Amino acid sequence: MNLHEYQAKELLARYGIPVPPGRVAYTADEAKAIASEYGDTVVIKAQVHTGGRGKAGGVKLAKTPEEAREKASQILGLNIRGFVTKKVLVGKAVDIAKEYYAGLILDRVTQRVVLMLSKEGGVDIEEVAAERPQAILKYPINPATGLRPFEARELVKQAGLEGNLGKLAGVLVQLYQAYVGVDASTAEINPLVVTAQGEVVAADAKIVLDDNALYRHPDLSRLREAEAEHPLEVEASNYGFAYVKLEGSVGIIGNGAGLVMYTLDLVNRSGGKPANFLDIGGGAKADVVYNAIKVVCKDPDVKGIFINIFGGITRADEVAKGVIQAMNDGILTKPVAMRVAGTAEEEAKKLLEGKPVYMYPSSIEAAKAIVEMVNGGGR
Amino acid sequence: MSILVDQNTRVLVQGITGREGLFHTEQMLKAGTKVVAGVTPGKGGQTVQGIPVYDTVKEAAAQHGVDASIIFVPAAGAADAALEAAHAGIPLVVLITEGIPTMDMVKAVAEIKALDKVRLIGGNCPGLITPAACKIGIMPASVFKRGRVGLISRSGTVTYETAKALSDAGLGISTCVGIGGDPIIGSTFKDLLPLFNADPETEAVVICGEIGGSDEEDAAAYVKAHMKKPVVGFIGGRSAPKGKKMGHAGAIISGNVGTPESKLAAFAEAGVPVADTIDQIVELVRAKLQAS
């Protein structure tokens, strides 16, 4: 789960990392009020769940409260990569002497959390990584000990960061404590600023939370914003499916993430475009399949549905029952190509006999057929 | 022969009294697995399907010689259960549970690797099976026939489909290991390839990978340098968009890491043919076996 910059900064502040004073405004007048309270130059930043805010005009400086009102009204409502800006962070501008980068990510190769540190902050770190990988220092942290102050001091020196050594190292130690404390999967400070007065502050921050660990952070899971996701993704997640909205017109339902991914690939190979990824999971009963069909059929882009089931723990006849129920209730209104194999395959086929469902013996044939139906304008 | 398990492997079930634990204990017994004991904290002294239940892994291991443990404990306690098994000295720990907090796995995997005598498979995996000998997992045993091909996979259902296709084609499976779809797992492809390389029953190996991470690239490097047997690859999620998590927490393309292009290039470099479809896996294995 992605957090907004202001939420990330609040969390970092809880762990002792200095952040510039700032508050969220939902209207231009609120932005003006905050700016006049600070009585100083402010930065107004769009709070949207996407990158590239600066380039899209979502970050502006304002020297007076009136200017803050103006700039905020330009940013509020701005569409940044498909996300409409509904709130802005109005923060005191910092007097930048140096801009660095500090980030923690999960590294699958070392199977550890890796600290990345660079003198080249304030820019897109992925570009730095691609062009000058040597400009980023990487340090896998031992999970048994965490990041200790002496390690952090050595790393600050090694990366060539200039400024108060104790303060810089302290931020790194606190960043790791925050990462573990909130169960993040990414925690970045970019830029990590050394001010003209010698203070070290997190001028921007990004935190992504580990979805698997949200259950132990009820205060953080409340920060999830339904509007930041596709409404069908929210509905599917309430039903407990893994669902991802995609661009195409073939609705996909399958069991097991691997099989569903493979099904998307087959539809693509057959010249079609999947409308979604939907995994009903292991051991699904008829009602789960029914709800899956409900979600997929609500998507106006869907012209036909491919249901691909390999029965293991999931029984194919349960899937068939869900399909039939959805037909009887008038929910399933689009053409369906289906392929079932494995546990209770014969029972499923018997149940579906005479029903308006196109059955195919293999995934490949079913994929070709549904793509033909959808591309040919349906049947 | 086979890898990791055979008909004599004595298995412990952690979380045996839960819904999943009960169901799969029954299924494993049906598949011929020697399930000798179970553990559920607080339920020691009970019996399930005639199998004695203990409060701790240590007690169970002291009463029965235990070679392997399978874990059905819910996500919040799953990493702890794996550590309990590892510290009780059980050499093979199979972690089925999905949705385990990532940091729990980072800590548990580091601690278990430091013990240097325990092999962890998973989490979020279907387990492993040597057909007609021992199943420590949740796969439908009926689609697995004993044979010549070793199978390693990150997914569940794709594994079953591939196993069924290889079995129906008369090639069969020596041992199949589902390593799991999470970013941090106990054993990767490259950890298991040496075992198949040394197993006389295994004549070829199939690696069913998917997008995300770089385990396939590491596996390809191992194949190129050390593998004496033919290897065939498969990559799921080749049409997935960047930055979207496709069901498995590990199946996400971030930046330039985890792309299908990178994995295809690595396999090509190692001389590993990659199947576009599951049916094609069978054809490629057959061609490789005939050529060798």
- Map B56-111 to HEC letters: CHHHHHHHCCCCEEEECCCHHHHHHHHHHHHHCCCCEEEECCCCCCHHHHHHHHHH
Contact between chains at B139 and A312 (C-beta distance less than 8 A): yes
Q: Span B82-94, mean pLDDT? A: 98
- A356 with A241, same domain? yes
Check pLDDT > 80 for residue B249: no
Q: Which CATH class is domain B10-122?
A: alpha beta
DSSP letter string over A85-138? ---EEEEEPP-EEEEEEEEEEEETTTTEEEEEEES--SS-HHHHHHH-GGGEEE
Inter-chain CB pairs, A–B, below 8 Å: 156
Crossing angle of the two packed helices B189-198 and B215-226, in degrees rounded to 10: 30
Using a CB-CB cut-off of 8 Å, the residues of chain A touching B83 are: none
CATH code at position A79: 3.30.1490.20
Please report the pLDDT score of residue A377 as a whole number: 52
- A202 with A302, same domain? no
Domain containing A61 equals 21-92
Question: Greater confidence, A355 or B200?
Answer: B200
User: What residues 57-86 of chain B have any CB closer than 8 A to a CB of chain A?
Assistant: 75-76
Cα–Cα distance for residue pair B48/A104, rounded to 1 Å: 45
From the CA of B157, how many Å to the nearest CA of chain A?
A: 6
Using a CB-CB cut-off of 8 Å, the residues of chain B touching A362 are: 279
Using a CB-CB cut-off of 8 Å, the residues of chain A touching B218 are: 109
Question: Greater confidence, A164 or A82?
Answer: A164
Contact between chains at B99 and A274 (C-beta distance less than 8 A): no
Confidence band of B9 (pLDDT split at 50, 70, 90):
very high
Least confident piece of the model among A171-175, B256-260, B275-279: B256-260
Check pLDDT > 50 for residue A378: no
Contact between chains at B155 and A210 (C-beta distance less than 8 A): no
Give the pair of three-digit tokens for residue A188. Answer: 């970045």
Please report the pLDDT score of residue A196 as a whole number: 94
Q: Span B57-74, mean pLDDT? A: 97
Segment A328-358, tens digit of pLDDT? 999 998 999 999 988 888 899 999 998 888 8
Smallest CA-to-CA distance from B35 within B12, B14, B53 is with: B12
State phi, psi for A299 to the nearest 5 degrees.
-80, 115
Give the pair of three-digit tokens for residue A191. Answer: 């830029």
Contact between chains at A259 and B155 (C-beta distance less than 8 A): yes
Segment A25-36, tens digit of pLDDT? 999 999 999 999
Contact between chains at B157 and A268 (C-beta distance less than 8 A): no
- A250 with A351, same domain? yes
- Interface probe for B, chosen from A313, A319, A340, A364 (most Cβ of B below 10 Å), is A313
CATH code at position A351: 3.40.50.261
What 3-state class would DSSP assign to B47? strand
Chain A residue nearest residue B209, CA to CA: A258
- A166 with A81, same domain? no
**Is B17 a known ligand-binding residue?**
yes
Confidence band of A234 (pLDDT split at 50, 70, 90):
confident
Cα–Cα distance for residue pair A213/B111, rounded to 1 Å: 20
Among B101, B236, B278, select the one facing A183 at the smallest CB separation.
Answer: B101
**Is B247 a known ligand-binding residue?**
no
Report yes or no on A4 lying in a domain: no
From the CA of B239, how many Å to the nearest CA of chain A?
A: 5
Please report the pLDDT score of residue B2 as a whole number: 86
Q: What is the number of residues in chain A?
A: 379
Please report the pLDDT score of residue B159 as a whole number: 93
Check pLDDT > 50 for residue A190: yes
ipTM over 0.85: yes
Smallest CA-to-CA distance from A108 within B78, B255, B225, B268 is with: B255
Distance (Å) of CA A50 to CA A44, B65, B115, B243: 16, 54, 42, 11
The CA-CA-CA angle for residues A116, A120, A123, to 5°, reads 100
Confidence band of B108 (pLDDT split at 50, 70, 90):
very high
Q: Span A52-56, mean pLDDT? A: 86
Contact between chains at A266 and B110 (C-beta distance less than 8 A): no
Residue B15 forms contact with A (CB below 8 Å): no
Confidence band of B256 (pLDDT split at 50, 70, 90):
low
Check pLDDT > 60 for residue A369: yes
- Interface probe for B, chosen from A229, A261, A273 (most Cβ of B below 10 Å), is A261
**Is A204 a known ligand-binding residue?**
yes
Smallest CA-to-CA distance from B281 within B208, B174, B213 is with: B208
Segment A207-232, tens digit of pLDDT? 999 989 999 999 998 887 766 677 88
From the CA of A211, how many Å to the nearest CA of chain B?
A: 8
Contact between chains at A213 and B103 (C-beta distance less than 8 A): yes
What 3-state class would DSSP assign to A183? coil
- A249 with A285, same domain? yes
Report yes or no on A14 lying in a domain: no
In this structure, are strands A112-118 and A136-141 parallel, antiparallel, or unpaired?
A: antiparallel
What 3-state class would DSSP assign to A297? helix
- CA end-to-end distance (rounded Å), chain A: 40
Among B111, B143, B247, select the one facing A279 at the smallest CB separation.
Answer: B247
CA gyration radius, chain A: 26
DSSP letter string over A42-54? EEEEE--SSS-TT
CATH code at position A156: 3.30.470.20
Using a CB-CB cut-off of 8 Å, the residues of chain A touching B138 are: 282, 312-313
Crossing angle of the two packed helices B260-269 and B215-226, in degrees rounded to 10: 0
Residue that terminates a domain, selected from A222, A252, A274: A222
Cα–Cα distance for residue pair B90/B12, rounded to 1 Å: 9
Please report the pLDDT score of residue A228 as a whole number: 65
Cα–Cα distance for residue pair B73/B286, rounded to 1 Å: 40
Q: Span A188-209, mean pLDDT? A: 96
Q: Span A309-324, mean pLDDT? A: 89
**Active-site position among A5, A67, A151, A188:** A188
Report yes or no on A3 lying in a domain: no
Domain boundaries, chain B: 10-122, 139-291
- A309 with A170, same domain? no
What 3-state class would DSSP assign to A294? helix
Distance (Å) of CA A92 to CA A22, A41, A168, A196, A197: 6, 6, 21, 15, 15
Q: Span B2-23, mean pLDDT? A: 94
Among B107, B236, B277, select the one facing A261 at the smallest CB separation.
Answer: B236
Check pLDDT > 90 for residue A368: yes
Confidence band of B254 (pLDDT split at 50, 70, 90):
low
Which active-site residues of B does the annotation give? Answer: 248
- A179 with A275, same domain? no
Among B143, B240, B278, select the one facing A264 at the smallest CB separation.
Answer: B240
Please report the pLDDT score of residue A281 as a whole number: 83
- A152 with A84, same domain? no
State phi, psi for A235 to the nearest 5 degrees.
-60, -45
Structural contact between residues A204 and A119, judged by C-beta atoms closer than 8 angstroms: no
Q: Span B239-249, mean pLDDT? A: 77
Q: Span B149-175, mean pLDDT? A: 94
Q: Give the total number of structural domains in chain A.
A: 3
Q: What is the number of residues in chain B?
A: 292
Report yes or no on A13 lying in a domain: no
Give A328's contacts (C-beta < 8 A, 6+ positions apart): none
Give the pair of three-digit tokens for residue A348. Answer: 């499923």
Report yes or no on A12 lying in a domain: no
- Residue found by looking up tokens 């045993």 in the block: B141
Segment A91-127, tens digit of pLDDT? 999 999 999 999 999 998 899 999 999 999 988 887 8
Residue that terminates a domain, selected from A205, A222, A239: A222
Q: Span B232-238, mean pLDDT? A: 93
- A136 with A51, same domain? no
Is A162 an annotated catalytic residue? no
Helices (H), chain A: 5-14, 28-38, 65-75, 125-131, 149-159, 165-181, 218-221, 231-239, 257-269, 286-298, 316-328, 345-352, 363-375
Mean per-residue pLDDT over chain A, rounded: 92
Residue B70 has a CB neighbour count (10 Å cut-off) of 31
Is A101 an annotated catalytic residue? yes
Using a CB-CB cut-off of 8 Å, the residues of chain B touching A125 are: none
Contact between chains at B251 and A363 (C-beta distance less than 8 A): no
Residue that terminates a domain, selected from A199, A222, A245: A222
Among B99, B160, B183, select the one facing A312 at the smallest CB separation.
Answer: B160
Report yes or no on A295 lying in a domain: yes
Contact between chains at A143 and B110 (C-beta distance less than 8 A): yes
Please compute, for residue A376, the number of CA atoms within 13 A of its CA located in the half-sphere on the CB side: 9
Architecture of domain B139-291: 3-Layer(aba) Sandwich (3.40)
Question: Greater confidence, B228 or A83?
Answer: B228
Contact between chains at B157 and A312 (C-beta distance less than 8 A): yes
- A303 with A198, same domain? no
